[in-house]
Structure 1
């Protein structure tokens, strides 16, 4: 599936230009592109708002949602400058708490989506961008893509959008622990080995790999697809057992507030 330039065909309701996203529709396939390439597609509150709007207004006829990124990188993660602004306005981190709650809703909207969600990844996939990708059902990346969870090195917990329980569920606790505690970068090939990705392909084959998944899925009967998605989601939730991601926003706010006060006291 090669993305077509916006504006080359008559616009559908899903062909939209939002502040931080571009979306377009090809039959039952809806592509949602993170589109702030000059900033590395950093995940801001505005982007979370746009994602919530698009996913909540999604046409029931959509069978596949492809999450992609414009420019050189899929996403460089959360916007630290916006975190600082939240703390300036409210040192108790109320803004961080609100943002964290949005992040969870967005990742849940991807993970629980009645359509099959596909993450199309390239370049760097970092932090919050990694969490968005991990919330998708299927994940394919260019073979030169790299992945990283740098939060701990920045003084933050891995508490954004339910990334930690999803990573443990997909990669296993021991592997997840090593990636989070060291914050090291890892390759697409290792990501396949860890089940973070299902597939890594040369960059020029990325759209073909997405199409190879999207085509058959789009032909599946809608009711059977919805039920199967629900079964997978239920099984995944059961294997996570005590999923503490509901506390992500509170945990992030508490740590960020304490860090802010400690720095102010220095």
Structure 2
């Protein structure tokens, strides 16, 4: 894909973490830091927001993919540490968490049909980005994991938890989160994390097999149908607490940082 300037945005600065390609009514967005496993950084979130918020009515399909071996290895924990070093109360993490929620909402609520093209590993925030898309196809060698609890973090990024509960189901989600185990593409399909699994060399063909019929639909009917699907999904999540995701993440990380400080370490026996 050829790097293009941001669509319909006021900046002409080149993209640092994304590569985008407009092919008629299809917009391809590629996470493009493969040497970092396409980790989610502030730069990546800012660029995704800029591209997704520039809603061109002529775009009918948005395809989200990752460069290199992996789709996305999750959040950049070094940035979390930097945020805490700058402000131990977690203010920077709250800002980042709010951006994450906006990005996932921009994928879900986009009037275009959003398709996730997943290869390699999709971990944590990477899984959240894929799950925010309408349609998700994965290579048969892809793997998925929710490692947050094992890392001492809550499952609170981008509205991931209510989406998981709605798409997968409470019992299965509970097991995946509490064990933090990896699961395969075939299991992801059984859990409805993916709707299709194909050999990696057939991913592009599978994406186009979905995109082509979508392009034949009435634009107005498609927009209304997406709005209806999202409205009914939201109706099943009346207790959606994703607005608290950034607060929860910041609070847990700030508390962990406090407990790690030598002057605050507890002494004596546990009771």
Query: Where on the TM-score scale, by shorter chain, does this alignment land: which range?
Result: over 0.9
Find the structure with the greater CA-based Rg. Answer: 2
1:6 and 2:2 aligned: yes
Write the distance in 1 (CA, Å) between the matches of 2:151 and 2:260: 13
Write the distance in 1 (CA, Å) between the matches of 2:85 and 2:213: 49
Matched residue, 2:116: 119
Task: Map 1:1-266 to 2 at 5 A.
Answer: 5-6=1-2, 14=7, 17-264=14-261, 265-266=264-265
Matched residue, 2:268: none
**CA RMSD, 1 decimal:** 1.4
Gaps of 5+ in 1: none
Worse-superposed segment, 56-65 or 138-147: 56-65
Write the distance in 1 (CA, Å) between the matches of 2:55 and 2:68: 25
Structure 1 stretches of 4+ with a deviation exceeding 2 A read 11-17
When normalised by structure 1's length, the TM-score is: 0.95
Query: CA offset at residue 84 of structure 1?
Result: 0.2
Closer, same or farther: CA 80–13 of 1 in aligned 2, 3 Å:
closer
Query: CA offset at residue 239 of structure 1?
Result: 1.3
Specify the SS of the correspondent of 1:240.
coil
Write the distance in 2 (CA, Å) between the matches of 1:263 and 1:213: 49
Q: In 2, are the aligned partners of 1:40 and 1:76 still within 8 Å (CA)?
A: yes
Write the distance in 2 (CA, Å) between the matches of 1:84 and 1:13: 29
Q: In 1, are the aligned partners of 2:6 and 2:15 still within 8 Å (CA)?
A: no
Closer, same or farther: CA 13–159 of 1 in aligned 2, 3 Å:
closer
CA deviation map 1:222-266 (0-9, x unaligned):
100000000000011111221011110111111111011011134
Specify the SS of the correspondent of 1:254.
helix
Write the distance in 2 (CA, Å) between the matches of 1:263 and 1:164: 28
Q: In 2, are the aligned partners of 1:35 and 1:41 still within 8 Å (CA)?
A: yes
Specify the SS of the correspondent of 1:62.
coil
Q: In 2, are the aligned partners of 1:135 and 1:166 still within 8 Å (CA)?
A: yes
Query: CA offset at residue 220 of structure 1?
Result: 1.1
When normalised by structure 2's length, the TM-score is: 0.93
Write the distance in 2 (CA, Å) between the matches of 1:243 and 1:124: 27
Specify the SS of the correspondent of 2:210.
helix
Q: In 2, are the aligned partners of 1:14 and 1:30 still within 8 Å (CA)?
A: no
Specify the SS of the correspondent of 2:27.
strand
